[in-house]
Chain A
Amino acid sequence: MDKIQVKNLNLWYGNFQALKNVSATFAEKKITAIIGPSGCGKSTFLRVLNRMNDLIEGVKTSGQVFIDGENILSQDVDLIALRKKVGMVFQRPNPFPLSVYENIAFGIKIHGLKYTKDTLDAIVENSLREVLLWDDLKDKLHRSALSLSLEQKQRLCIARLLAVKSDVVLMDEPCSALDPQATQRIEELMRELKKHYTIIIVTHNMQQAARVSDDTGFMLLGEMIEFADTHSIFTAPKDRRTEEYITGRYG
C-alpha cells in the first residue's frame, strides 16, 4: 500500500529553488530513508509532508503530495488534522518544558480529545511503553522532561506523537545528537514502530540508512536522483551520482 505519493514537487525559498521536481512514493508501514549531502534539501522535503514550511515566510510550492489520497498541498487542507496524523521528530530533541507526563498529555489536550484521568494515565503509560521508557520513568512522571538524558528526551518526543495516534512519523536526523549506543537503540525502536507506523527518516549517515530502511531516496541539490529499495540503492545504484555518494566521494 502506498501511504504517501509525491508528484513533481517544487519548492522555493524566495527566489532560491530548494526542491526540483521531486517525485517519490512511500509505502505504508515501512521505513524510508532520505540520504544526501548537507544542504541538498532533505529537511525541506520532510517539512513539506507536514506543511511545517508554512511557518517560513516566502516559501512557495508547486506539485502534489497525496497522503491517504488527499492532496495536502491544497489550500483547504486542515493543517491541524494533518499534523496530528503526520508527526515530526527533530534533530535536537525538543521536549516541552513540562513534566514527562504533561509532555505526552499535551497532544491529547490540544486536540480536545476526550479523556478522563484514567484514560489519560493509560495513554501516557502505553506511549511510554511503546518507546521503552516506561520502566525507567514510571516513578519520574512528574519530573521535568528537561532533566532527562538526550536519548530519553528523543524517545519522549517520539512517544508524544504516538499518544495522538500519528500514523506517519517524520524523523529529521533523529540520532545526530546521540552517541552510537543510543543510536543503535533508537534504530531498534524504529524497527519495532514500523509494525504500526509509516516512518520517513532523513539521515546523512549512510550506514544508518542501510541498517534500518526498506526504501531509500538519494537527493542532490534539490533533486531526487534515485529512489528504490534500500538493497538495490546500496548494491546496484543506477545513477553514477548515487554511486559516487555511497562510495564516499561526496562530503
Chain B
Amino acid sequence: MTKKITLRKLKEFIIEKLILLCGLASIFFVMLIFIFLLKEGLALFKTVKVSNFLLGKSWYPISEPPELGILPLILGSLLVTFGAAIISVPIGVACAVYIAEIAPGKVKEVLKAGIELLAAIPSVVLGFIGMVTLVPWVKKVFNLPTGLTALSGSIMLAFMAMPTIVSIAEDALYSVPRSYKEGAFALGATHWQTIWRLLLPAASSGILAAVMLGIGRVIGETMAVMMITGNSAVIPQTFLAPVRTLTATIAAEMGETVVGSEHYFALFAIGIVLFIISFVINVTADLFLHRKPK
C-alpha cells in the first residue's frame, strides 16, 4: 500500500521534472537564438552608425565600400504591409461579421472550412500562384513595364493575413454575450444596428488583436513577397513600383555573403529590426486581447 503510493509519487515527481526540463529547454534555446542574433547583429554597429544603418537611403552591400542603409527596405516592408492591411482588414472584418452573424448554418461551415484551407496553403505556393496570375494582371491593368510591384505583394499578403483576421475576429464576435443582442432586438434595433452599435464595439479589442496578428504575419512573410515584389532596393514612390522588404533581403542575400563581413552583420541587424517590429506588434495584440473592460 505505502509502496504503491511512494511509487506513484515518484512517477509524478519524474513527470513533473521532465515537463519543467522541457519548458526550461525551450526558454534556453530561445535565449540562445536571441543572444546569437544580438551578438551577430550588434557587431555591425562597431563600424556603422545606427542612424546611418536605419536611415541610410541606399543599400549596396557588395559595392566597395558597402553602403548599408536599410531605409528603402523598411519603407518597402511598411508599404507592402500597409497595402495588405488596407485590403485585408475591411474584407476580413466584414467576412468575420458575415460568418458570425449573418451566414446560415451551412454557408457558415463552408466559409470556415474555406478560410482554414486558405491558411493551410504554403506561402511559396501562394507566391507561385501570384506570380503567374496576379503579376501579369497588375502589369496589364495598370499598363506597367513590370507587374512585380508593391501592389502585387500587398494583394498577395492580404490573402495571407485574411485567415488570421477572420478567424480571430469571428471568435471575438462570437464571444459577445447573446444577451446584448437580445436586449437590442427587444428594443427594436435592426440586425445591422445591433452589429454596428453593439457587437463590433463589444468585440473591438478582439478585432484589434486579430488585425495586429494578421499584420504580424504579413510583416514576417518572406517567400511570397520575394517572388512577386520585384526586389529593387530603392525608396518606393508608389504602390506600382517594385520594392524590396526586410525579410526578402535576408532571404535573398544570406547565401552570397561572407561570414564575418559587414554585409553578414548587417543582415543580422536587419533580423533585429524585424524582431523588434514583430515583438511590438505581438505585445500590442496581446494587450488588446487581455484588455479588461473598463
Contacts and interface: CB of A to CB of B under 8 A. Distances in A.
A97 B180 contact: yes
B174 to A, nearest CB: 15
A79 B293 CA distance: 32
Given A106-B197, A110-B197, A144-B293, A84 B187 contact: yes
A108 to B, nearest CB: 10
A92 B182 CA distance: 11
Contacts of B294: 144, 147
A164 B188 contact: yes
- Interface residue SS majority, chain B: helix
Given A52-B182, A94-B179, A96-B180, A107 B188 contact: yes
Nearest to B196: A110
B25 interface: no
A157 B184 CA distance: 11
Contacts of B198: 96-98
Interface size class of B (residues with CB under 8 A): 10 to 19
A95 B202 CA distance: 12
B183 interface: yes
B179 A164 contact: no
B202 A107 contact: no
B179 A80 contact: no
A22 interface: no
Contacts of A42: none
Contact of B185 (A55, A97, A157, A161): A55
A52 B187 CA distance: 10
Contact of B180 (A52, A81, A84, A94): A94
B201 interface: yes
A90 B182 contact: yes
B190 interface: yes
B186 interface: yes
B193 interface: yes
A188 B246 CA distance: 69
Interface string B87-116: 000000000000000000000000000000
Contact of B188 (A84, A95, A98): A84
Contacts of B197: 106, 109-110
A146 B201 CA distance: 14
B187 A110 contact: yes
Contacts of A90: 179, 182-183, 186
Contacts of B202: 97
A160 interface: yes
A127 interface: no
A81 B188 contact: yes
Interface of A: 50, 52, 55, 79-84, 87-88, 90, 92, 94-98, 106-107, 109-111, 144, 146-147, 157, 160-161, 164
